[in-house]
C-alpha cells in the first residue's frame, strides 16, 4: 500500500506527500468499505436468513433477485428511506452517535485484516493486538446505545454486552498468545507467513494446546460478536431487542451491519491465526493470479466459519447470564492460561515442533469430522422429513 502511494507522490512533486497519503488512504478506505465490507455484511445477512430458513424448514427471502439474492439491497434501501425515530426522552447526542461508534469499531478492524499476500491496507507490526483493541470499541457504542435509550431493557442489554465483551476479551487474548509465541510476531501477515498452505503446517495442529486455543478463540469470538448462544445483549425473548430496542430505520440497521460484518472478521481471524490464512501452494509466478487465489482461499476459509456461526445460531439455545460468566471465568480463562504455559513449555522442549504430532493432530481432527458427518447423516436418515403436504389433499 505504502509503495503505491510513494509512487503516486513521486509523480506529483508539487503536492506534499502527507496530503497524498491522506487522500490515498481515505480513498482506499472508502473503496474497501463500499466495495467489500458493505456487500459482505449485506450478503451475509441474506446467506444467514437462507441458511436459517433451510435449517428451520422454511423458505426464507426468495423474492428479490435470483433466490432472493438482492434482498440485502432492498432491505438497505428500505431502512435508508425509513423514518429515523428518536424518542423524546433519549439522550439525543449519544443516541445518534452510538451506531456510528459501533460501525467504526468494526470497520477499523479491516485496516489490519489480510485479504491476500499483497492485499492488506496496513500490515501493522502490532496487527492482532490492534484488532483485538479496536474491536472493543464496539462495546462503547453498545453501552452508549443502551444507556442513552432511556429504556431499562436497553440498559440491561448494554450492560450485558459490556460485561460480555470485557470478560471474553480475556480468554480470547489468552488463546491468541500461543499463536503469537509460535509466530514470534504480532503482525497478521507475519502470523500467516509462519504457517504453510498444508493443514499439517497450520498453527491449529501444532499441538493439542493450540487446538484447544483454537476452540477457545472461536467460542470467545462468538461471545464477543454477540452471537448465539451468547446473544444475551439482544436476547429477543428476554430483553425485547436489548440495546437496539429504541432504534429504527438505518440506525438500527447499522447495528446489524456491524454484527454481520463482525462475523466475517471472526472468520478471517480464525483462519489467519489458526488455519494458515491465505496460504496457497506457489503454483504460478503470475502475481495477480496468485493474489486472486490467495484472496479466494482466505474468503472461503473465513466464510466457512461464518457458516458455522450461522449453524450454531440456528441450533443452540441461549445461555443464562450466570452460566455465561461461569463458562468464562471458571473454564475458559484457566484453560487459556494452561494453554499459554503448555505452548511455551512445548517450544522449549521441542523448538522445531514435531511433525509426527502434527500428523496425529490432523488425523484426529479428520476422524472427529468423519464421525460428526456420520452422526449428521444418521440423524438425517432417521429424521422424519418425508413431506406430507396438506393431508386433506391426498385422501387415503
Partner 1 sequence: MSLELEFADGRDVFATEDMVLNMGPQHPSTHGVLRFIIRADGEVMRSAKADVGYLHRSIEKIAEKVGWHGFMPYTDRVDYVAAMTTNQAWAMAAEVLGGVTVPRRGEYCRVIAAELGRICSHLLAAGAMGMDIGAITPFTHAVRERELINDLLEELCGARLTFNYMRIGGVAWDLPPGFGAKVLRFLDHFEPYVDELDDLLSGNKIYIERLANVAVVSRERAIAYNLVGPNLRASGVKYDIRKHLPYSVYPEFDFEVPIGEGRHGSVGDCWDRYIVRLHEMRQSARILRQAIDGLPEGPVIAKVPRNYKPAAGEVHVHVETPRGDQSWYVVADGTEYPYRVHIRTGSFAAMAMIEELSRGLMIADLVALIASFDIVAPEVDR
Q: Which residues bind partner 1 (CB under 8 A)?
A: 52, 55-58, 152-153, 156, 228-229, 231, 235-240, 314-323, 379, 382-384, 386, 388, 390-392, 395-396
Residue 393 Cβ vs partner 1, minimum distance, rounded to whole Å: 9
Which residue bears the cell 500490515? Answer: 123
Residue 236 Cβ vs partner 1, minimum distance, rounded to whole Å: 5
Residue 255 Cβ vs partner 1, minimum distance, rounded to whole Å: 18
Cell numbers representing residue 338 in the block: 494452561
* Closer Cβ to partner 1, 161 or 195, answer by number: 161
Residue 392 Cβ vs partner 1, minimum distance, rounded to whole Å: 5
Distances (CA, A) of 57 to 10, 109, 228, 314, 384: 59, 35, 19, 11, 12
Do 158 and 243 touch, CB atoms closer than 8 A?
Answer: yes
* Closer Cβ to partner 1, 245 or 272, answer by number: 245
Cα distance from N-terminal residue to C-terminal residue, the chain: 70
Residue 82 Cβ vs partner 1, minimum distance, rounded to whole Å: 21
For 5, phi and psi rounded to 5 degrees? -65, -35
Residue 261 Cβ vs partner 1, minimum distance, rounded to whole Å: 22
* Closer Cβ to partner 1, 154 or 294, answer by number: 154
Residue 273 Cβ vs partner 1, minimum distance, rounded to whole Å: 26
CA distance 392 to 224: 48
Alpha helices in 32-151 (DSSP H): 38-55, 71-81, 92-108, 127-134, 137-148
Q: What angle do CA 134, 172, 334 make, to 5 degrees?
A: 145
Nearest Cα residue to 270 out of 313, 296, 292, 303:
303
Report helix, strand or coil for 107: helix
For 125, phi and psi rounded to 5 degrees? -75, -10
Do 296 and 269 touch, CB atoms closer than 8 A?
Answer: no
CA distance 84 to 28: 30
Name the DSSP letter for residue 91.
-
* Closer Cβ to partner 1, 14 or 392, answer by number: 392
Residue 290 Cβ vs partner 1, minimum distance, rounded to whole Å: 41
CA distance 311 to 376: 13
**Residues 6+ away with beta carbon under 8 Å from 187:** 123, 124, 125, 126, 127, 128
* Closer Cβ to partner 1, 154 or 189, answer by number: 154
Residue 171 Cβ vs partner 1, minimum distance, rounded to whole Å: 18
Name the DSSP letter for residue 24.
H
Amino acid at each position: 500500500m505504502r509503495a503505491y502511494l510513494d509512487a503516486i507522490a513521486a509523480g506529483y512533486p508539487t503536492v506534499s506527500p502527507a496530503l497524498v497519503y491522506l487522500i490515498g488512504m481515505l480513498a482506499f478506505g472508502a473503496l474497501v468499505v463500499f466495495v467489500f465490507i458493505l456487500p459482505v455484511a449485506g450478503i451475509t445477512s441474506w446467506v444467514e436468513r437462507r441458511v436459517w430458513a433451510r435449517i428451520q424448514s422454511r423458505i426464507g427471502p426468495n423474492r428479490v433477485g435470483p433466490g432472493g439474492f438482492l434482498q440485502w439491497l432492498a432491505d438497505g434501501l428500505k431502512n435508508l428511506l425509513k423514518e429515523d425515530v428518536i424518542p423524546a426522552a433519549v439522550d439525543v447526542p449519544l443516541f445518534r452517535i452510538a451506531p456510528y461508534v459501533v460501525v467504526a469499531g468494526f470497520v477499523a478492524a479491516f485496516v489490519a485484516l489480510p485479504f491476500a499476500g499483497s492485499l492488506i491496507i496496513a500490515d501493522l507490526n502490532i496487527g492482532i493486538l490492534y484488532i483485538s483493541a479496536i474491536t472493543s470499541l464496539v462495546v462503547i457504542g453498545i453501552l452508549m446505545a443502551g444507556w442513552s435509550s432511556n429504556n431499562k431493557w436497553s440498559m440491561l442489554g448494554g450492560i450485558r454486552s459490556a460485561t460480555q465483551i470485557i470478560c471474553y476479551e480475556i480468554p480470547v487474548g489468552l488463546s491468541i498468545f500461543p499463536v503469537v509465541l509460535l509466530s514470534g510476531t504480532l503482525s497478521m501477515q507475519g502470523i500467516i507467513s509462519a504457517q504453510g498452505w498444508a493443514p499439517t503446517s497450520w498453527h491449529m495442529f501444532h499441538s493439542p494446546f493450540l487446538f484447544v486455543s483454537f476452540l477457545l478463540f472461536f467460542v470467545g469470538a462468538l461471545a464477543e460478536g454477540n452471537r448465539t448462544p451468547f446473544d444475551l445483549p439482544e436476547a429477543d425473548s428476554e430483553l425485547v431487542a436489548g440495546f437496539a430496542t429504541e432504534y429504527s430505520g438505518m440506525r438500527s440497521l447499522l447495528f446489524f451491519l456491524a454484527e454481520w460484518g463482525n462475523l466475517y472478521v471472526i472468520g478471517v481471524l480464525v483462519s489467519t491465526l489458526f488455519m494458515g490464512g491465505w496460504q496457497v501452494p506457489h503454483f504460478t509466478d503470475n502475481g495477480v493470479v496468485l493474489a486472486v487465489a490467495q484472496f479466494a482461499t482466505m474468503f472461503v476459509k473465513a466464510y466457512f466459519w461464518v457458516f458455522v456461526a450461522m449453524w450454531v445460531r440456528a441450533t443452540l439455545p441461549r445461555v443464562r447470564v450466570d452460566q455465561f460468566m461461569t463458562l468464562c471465568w471458571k473454564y475458559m480463562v484457566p484453560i487459556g492460561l494452561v494453554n499459554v504455559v503448555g505452548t511455551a513449555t512445548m517450544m522449549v522442549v521441542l523448538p522445531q515442533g514435531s511433525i509426527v504430532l502434527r500428523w496425529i493432530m490432523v488425523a484426529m481432527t479428520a476422524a472427529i469430522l468423519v464421525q460428526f458427518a456420520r452422526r449428521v447423516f444418521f440423524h438425517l436418515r432417521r429424521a422424519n422429513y418425508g413431506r406430507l403436504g396438506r393431508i386433506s389433499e391426498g385422501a387415503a
